[in-house]
Amino acid sequence: MHRLQHLANRSLIAGVFDQSPALLRTKARETACVVQPIRLKTQGPAEQYGLKRFSTAEATVILRENGKMREKTLTMDTLNPQVKAVEYAVRGPIVTKAGDIERGLQQGQKHPFTEVIKANIGDSHAMGQKPITFLRQVVALCSFPELLNSPSFPEDAKQRARRILQGCGGQSLGSYSASQGVDCIRQDVAVYIEQRDKGVPADWDNIYLTTGASDGIVSILKMLVSGQGRSRSGVMIPIPQYPLYSAAISELEAVQINYYLDEDNCWALDINELHRAYQAAKEHCHPRVICIINPGNPTGQVQSRKCIEEVLHFAYEENLFVMSDEVYQDNVYSPDLQFHSFKKVLYEMGPEYFNTVELASFHSTSKGYSGECGFRGGYMEVLNLDLEVKAQLVKLLSVRLCPPVSGQAAMDVIVNPPLPHEPSYLQFHKEKSAVLGALAEKAQITEQTLNTVPGIKCNPVQGAMYAFPRIFIPPRAVEEATSLGMSPDMVYCLRLLEETGICLVPGSGFGQREGTYHFRMTILPTTEKLKVLLEKLRDFHIKFLKEYASLEEPKR
């Protein structure tokens, strides 16, 4: 009975405070007599200490001073302006609207489609990808060590779990780790990097486990941003770029320096464009760091070894810190291409480069073949850091205590997978190959299908998890979008969502050359659903072109 009375009180209060201020005062007078009778008869802690308990109406009167409600401390006027400047298109307004439509469908609202297909974010498991069995086994064993006695788990998974638990405080995944991460996992990362890079040495003291790659990227940027005015740190980022970079730059009040990838050359990185962007930026800031995403997000290109060498030489000559985002290193689909790590190329350029260029490389559990986004596991390797600065980095990382230890365990499985002689190898290899094979097939389907649509041009999806096609938007549609204060590709993607249920991200959220329009879509849906998506997209685009072509006919 008391619970029902409590819920009635809450319901009434919520109803009152949902109203406008003028109506609130009226409601307060009307409901004062209603609220009073449903008070609990028992005295609570407030009365025991001589404190007075107010009804909703009485509290409303007390809160008012001189006819005005108490002002909020945090408003849009007092909000940190750097927070307002942050934009993250991957989870922007279109995604919010998609969520509203999805809830509406569940509640029986009518739309010209029966489901929302979210192709806006690289969340593999949300799109139906199955977990890698071995990874989940090891994490399960670490999370619930009693399972170590179960015959249902293979011995190689148990061995890894025991080793990880021995490195945890109290042999529990629930304890804090060191700020840099669990030592044995950092050691495994170093061994993985040496093997990946064909013997290039890796020191585990340079390995820092992170909360996904994003945590490491933001931490390094924090270290690099300083100065005022023309001495303020400038950060060179590719355009198109992953919006984490522009968001972090805005939050840190750094200066964003755009260098444009060459869309006509499959989004290749042009060294002449780097020089142009650098020289232009020197007029108003101090360029200190260059960021590269390889394979590319959102553009899906895989950089050649020659290109990487040119970037590193450029960074050496201009004394730039290099940040290499390599979270898609396992996602290379073109048979004539391969992933080259920036570290390996730097080593092959000789000691003058390898011992001097400051380089931070990033990897994650979220991409590749595992797609374990929710574990938030990752690492960064940082080379040639000044020893005093290195101590400052550890201090900065210690503020967030440590990355999730379950995510660290997941990262360990990615860098320390089953070996050919171990019992889990065959199943692991089969599952990994199936995931990467399906992604390669879907990359080809996406490129080929989009290129059959009039007004859409898509470069080969060489790697990563996305297509970033260029779309033709008729001048009349551009004018309409401009009159609404919106980018044309934002209007395009909104209409696509409302008419088909397909959720994509407009290219303007990633950056693009002026006068060009794009969208980013993942290739992660199942093959069947991807074909449905592409068919709906083709029909929508043709209809969109015809609609605006007919509107423009009277002008001719």
Tokens read off for 190: 């170093």
Which residues are CB-contacts of 276 (< 8 A; sequence separation ≥ 6)? Answer: 259
Q: Could you give phi then psi for residue 170, rounded to 5 degrees?
A: 65, 15
Distances (CA, A) of 517 to 456, 474, 540: 10, 11, 16
Rounded to a whole number of angstroms, the CA Rg of the chain reads 28
Which residues are CB-contacts of 184 (< 8 A; sequence separation ≥ 6)? Answer: 163, 164, 166, 167, 412
Nearest to 266 by CA among 444, 462, 442, 452: 462
Nearest to 224 by CA among 402, 398, 393: 393
Query: What whole-number distance in Å separates Cα of residue 452 and Cα of residue 325?
Result: 32
* The CA-based dihedral angle spanning residues 99, 102, 108, 114, taken in that order and rounded to the nearest 10 degrees: 160
Query: What whole-number distance in Å separates Cα of residue 115 and Cα of residue 109?
Result: 11
Tokens read off for 149: 């006695």
What are the residue ranges in the chain where pLDDT is below 70? Answer: 1-68, 84, 86-91, 550-556
Write down the residue that tokens 């060459």 correspond to. 262
The pLDDT, as a whole number, for residue 74 is 80
Nearest to 535 by CA among 430, 452, 424: 452
The pLDDT, as a whole number, for residue 80 is 78
Query: What whole-number distance in Å separates Cα of residue 174 and Cα of residue 3?
Result: 35
The pLDDT, as a whole number, for residue 122 is 87
Classify residue 88 by its DSSP letter.
-
Alpha-carbon dihedral sign for residues 98, 104, 110, 116:
positive
Q: Apex CA 123: angle with CA 119 and CA 126, to 5°?
A: 85
Query: What whole-number distance in Å separates Cα of residue 461 and Cα of residue 327?
Result: 16
Query: What whole-number distance in Å separates Cα of residue 43 and Cα of residue 499?
Result: 57
Residues 512 and 240 sit within 8 Å (Cβ to Cβ):
yes
Domains of the chain: 89-111+428-551 (3.90.1150.10), 133-415 (3.40.640.10)
* The CA-based dihedral angle spanning residues 64, 67, 69, 70, taken in that order and rounded to the nearest 10 degrees: -70
Residues 185 and 164 sit within 8 Å (Cβ to Cβ):
yes
Query: What whole-number distance in Å separates Cα of residue 170 and Cα of residue 179?
Result: 17
CB count in 10 Å sphere of residue 41? 6
